[in-house]
Amino acid sequence: MIDFSHLSNAHRRAVEIVRDVAREENCRPYLVGGPVRDVLLGRSAVDIDITVERDSSTLARAVAKRIGGRVKSFPQFLTYKVTADQMPEIDIATARKEKYRTPGALPSVASGNLRDDLLRRDFSINAIAVDLIDAELHDPTHGQRDLENRLVRVLHDRSFADDPTRIYRGIRLATRLGFAIEPQTAALMRKAIDSGALESISKERIWHELFMAMDESDAATILTAFSREGALDVLFGRRTADPSLLEIVRRLVTANPELDAYVLYTSALLRGDASPIDLEGSGFSQKRARNVVQIANELGRFADALSEAKSERHRLRVLKHASPELLSVLAATQPEEQPHLERFREFKTFSIPLRGNDIELPPGPHISRAIERTREAVFTGEIPPEEARSFAQQIAQKYFERSQAAGHRIEN
């Protein structure tokens, strides 16, 4: 009998609702894949994955109705996603068989029975199903034995050639669970990597796998393993990741979830030699790509510019051009910059009691620039606070005259 007691209340409720609704609709739902693996390991699950041999659409709509949720359909995967507030996502799929005509290409999909559906999966520990009506376990590939022996094992010798993304999935899953890759599986993985199997998949799919690895709590170990196995060469050419730098990033993003983890991990992987070409397929916006390249290539130069800055004002100017990600790496890797970074943090929240309409000039960008310049001057002690207003007036006047002169030049 499977023990659902490790599931959260919401997950248990979702399973019970699926079971009750399926009984009413006279269909047989199986809990499959990740959640079964996690339940058998006594871990909490993320999503609820259900497979049925028929009537997936009827079941999905009836479940959505019961919980007041929405249904989204993914016809290419014969899947429905049911979502509702306070509920885990419930995926309801028709059991399917898959055929890989060309290695690395997406498979052709046809409906099948539960066994077909389990045999198309990536690893034995992900190929176990629980019948929610009679609680019977279906484990045609001995996934339970592998769970006990803590092994990640593929189901057949062509698995990595059919779908090389399983190389990344296998390493990610083994690291997350603290499992080993079963020796024959490891040999097949090696062979697939050495024979260039990863070149048969698109860069976009590889980046998708990389981002999933970066979302894991132990991303540093996973990325180090990807690099060690040569699974990143297809994107970045031969280079070796620096585990200690990846670990620094892991600590930074764990402590501060607002930082862009994808940018930081990528810059760590490309340390010292990043170019926009390395980011092809990542979908990074120009701004994020610039951030990656800057952190990877210019951290040293940036630190030099800081230590060479002639005054605190110049130093603040340098720091203002840095992204929060760059600043975080700088703080973690260059402890001697710590006092400067601390001052910069103070500067960011420092304010002076001066508003735009305190300055007697027509409105325009010269006003906000002058106020910002005055804020710098007060903060760094260049002027005493009581002179802020007259200083701002003079500076704004200067900027205004300059902009007028530039305007005249353009007109003439």
Ranges of beta strands (E only) in 20-64 are 30-32, 48-52
Burial code of 259-275, b = ≥16 C-beta within 10 A, e = fewer?
bbbbbbbbbbbbbeebe
Shortest distance (Å) from residue 76 CB to ligand ATP: 14
Total interface residues for ligand ATP by CB under 6 A: 11
List 29, 34, 143, 170, residue binding ligand ATP (CB under 6 A): 34
Q: Does 139 bind ligand ATP (CB under 6 A)?
A: no
165 sits near ligand ATP (criterion: CB under 6 A): yes
Which of the 8 DSSP states describes residue 230? T
Nearer of residues 28 and 169 to ligand ATP, judged by Cβ: 169
Tokens of 128: 């176990």
Q: How would you class 364 by CB atoms within 10 Å of its CB: exposed for 0-12, middle for 13-18, buried for 19 or more?
A: middle
Residues 58-97: x/- map of binding to ligand ATP (CB under 6 A)? ----------------------------------------
**Choice from 122, 260, 337, 376 touching ligand ATP (CB under 6 A):** 122
**DSSP code, position 188:** H
Nearer to ligand ATP, 154 or 235 (CB): 154
- Give Cβ neighbours of residue 308 (< 8 Å, ≥ 6 apart): none
Note whether 117 binds ligand ATP by CB under 6 A. no
| Residue 206 or 378 having the CB closest to ligand ATP | 206
- Report the residue number, 163 or 325, with the smaller CB distance to ligand ATP: 163
Question: In the complex with ligand ATP, which residue's Cβ is closer, 102 or 357?
Answer: 102
Using the minimum distance from each CB to ligand ATP, give the nearer residue, 7 or 279: 7
Element housing 90 (H / E): strand 90-94
Q: Which stretch binds ligand ATP (CB under 6 A): 53-61, 71-79, 164-172, 300-308?
A: 164-172
User: Is 11 or 121 the residue whose CB approaches ligand ATP more closely?
Assistant: 121
Q: Per rule CB under 6 A, is residue 29 in the interface with ligand ATP? A: no
User: Which residues inside 244-263 make contact with ligand ATP, applying CB under 6 A?
Assistant: none
* Smallest distance from ligand ATP to CB 169, Å: 6
Region near ligand ATP per CB under 6 A, out of 12-20, 118-126, 181-189, 291-299: 118-126
Instruction: Please report where in the chains the tokens 């997936």 appear, as a residue.
Output: 56
Nearer residue to ligand ATP within complex by CB, 88 or 274: 88
> Nearest to ligand ATP by Cβ — which residue?
34
DSSP-derived pairing of the beta strands 30-32 and 129-131: antiparallel
Over the window 167 to 186, marking each residue x when it contacts ligand ATP by CB under 6 A and - when it does not, the resulting string is: --x-----------------
Q: Which residue has the tokens 């995967």?
A: 77
Check binding of 105 to ligand ATP (CB under 6 A): no
The residue among 154 and 269 lying less far from ligand ATP, judged by its C-beta, is: 154
Over its C-alpha atoms, the chain yields an Rg (Å, rounded) of: 29
126 binds ligand ATP, rule: CB under 6 A: yes
Longest dimension (CA), the chain: 87
Neighbour count for residue 27 (Cβ, 10 Å): 17
String of DSSP letters for 125-165: GG--EEETTT--EE-TT-HHHHHHHTEE-BSSTTHHHH-TH
User: Long-range CB contacts (< 8 A, 24+ apart) of 235-243?
Assistant: 235/203, 235/206, 235/207, 235/210, 235/278, 235/281, 236/269, 236/270, 236/278, 239/270, 239/273, 241/268, 241/269, 242/268, 242/271
| Residues near 96 by beta carbon (within 8 Å), at least 6 away in sequence | 77, 78, 109, 110, 111, 112, 116, 117, 120
Of 81 and 169, which CB lies nearer to ligand ATP in the complex structure? Answer: 169
List the one residue from 21, 29, 30, 33 that touches ligand ATP (CB under 6 A).
33
Of 53, 163, 182, 209, the residue at the interface with ligand ATP (CB under 6 A) is 163
Give the nearest distance from C-beta 43 to ligand ATP in angstroms: 9
Residues binding ligand ATP (CB under 6 A): 33-34, 46, 49, 121-122, 126, 163, 165-166, 169
